[in-house]
Amino acid sequence: MSQQRPRASRPSLPSPSTGTMGAAVAVIALLLGFLVLRDVSGSSFSSTPSTPTETVPGGGTVDPNASTTTVPFSTLGFKLIVANASGVAGSAGSMTLQLQNLGFIAPPAVNLAPGAAKRQKTGVFYTAGCENNANKVAEVLGGNVDIAAMPVPVPTETGELGEACVLILLGTDLAGKPLQGATGTGQGQAATTTTAPPAG
């Protein structure tokens, strides 16, 4: 009789522990979640709220929520001079003082050129490049004045303006009267204007 040899037992493979397996699954899930979120944030799903706009005449758009800033008119960027075309003595000097109190740079008043006609309505005249300043001066005077380019020759007694670029030919309508459209005082402050009530 032959004897049977006992079979050698094979070494068994260790089974993975459930704790290690769970940790690996958690790490993989975390990586996948990170990748998915990165793709979503970089895709077309992310959007910024659009800014509301309004169409304005002539084309183009504006943001109705944008704040607007009004730049005050500087009285110091130019010089003006007043010439008495009213015939009322001292009226041009009085207006010059009022304009200086509002911050305008106004040299002493001058006389009208000899032989020039007196004016009933005040006129504001400007040299090239000074039209905007002349318009602001006209507002300060109340708005009901003539505005035009500087006549040639200059209608002052000397025929000159010096460094001034705006000439006020003071008529009888404003001679000796306070400035209708002006508010505010102080050298260097911007002059502001108000709308004068219509004449009744």
The 10s digit of each residue's pLDDT in 115-146 is 888 999 999 999 999 999 999 999 999 889 99
pLDDT of residue 98: 94
Q: If you average pLDDT over residues 145-165, what whole number do you get?
A: 93
Lowest mean per-residue pLDDT among 23-32, 81-90, 164-173: 23-32
Domains and CATH numbers, the chain: 80-192 (3.30.70.2390)
Rounded Cα–Cα distance for residues 58 and 152 (Å) = 38
**16-25, 60-69, 125-134, 162-171: lowest mean pLDDT where?**
60-69
Mean pLDDT estimate for the chain: 76
Give the mean pLDDT of 166-185: 83
In the numeric block, which tokens belong to residue 72?
A: 């005050």
Overall average pLDDT of the 51-65 stretch:
55
Per-residue three-class SS string for the chain: CCCCCCCCCCCCCCCCCHHHHHHHHHHHHHHHHHHHHHHHHHCCCCCCCCCCCEECCCCCEECCCCCCCCCCCCCCCCEEEEEECCCCCCHHHHHHHHHHHCCCECCCCEEECCCCCCCCCCEEEECCCCHHHHHHHHHHCCCCCEEEECCCCCCECCCCCCCCCEEEEECCCCCCCCCCCEECCCCCCCCEECCCCCCC
Task: Point out which residues pair with 126 in neighbouring strands.
Answer: 149, 166
Q: Is the pTM of this model over 0.85?
A: no
pLDDT of residue 71: 52
CA distances (Å), origin 76, targets 103, 136, 139, 169, 192: 7, 12, 16, 20, 14
- Give the residue with greater pLDDT, 25 vs 163: 163
How many residues would you count in the chain? 200
User: What mean pLDDT do residues 42-62 have?
Assistant: 52
Which of the four pLDDT bands, split at 50, 70 and 90, describes residue 188? very low
More confident residue, 41 or 187: 41
Residue with tokens 């706009």: 53
Q: What is the pLDDT of residue 187?
A: 41
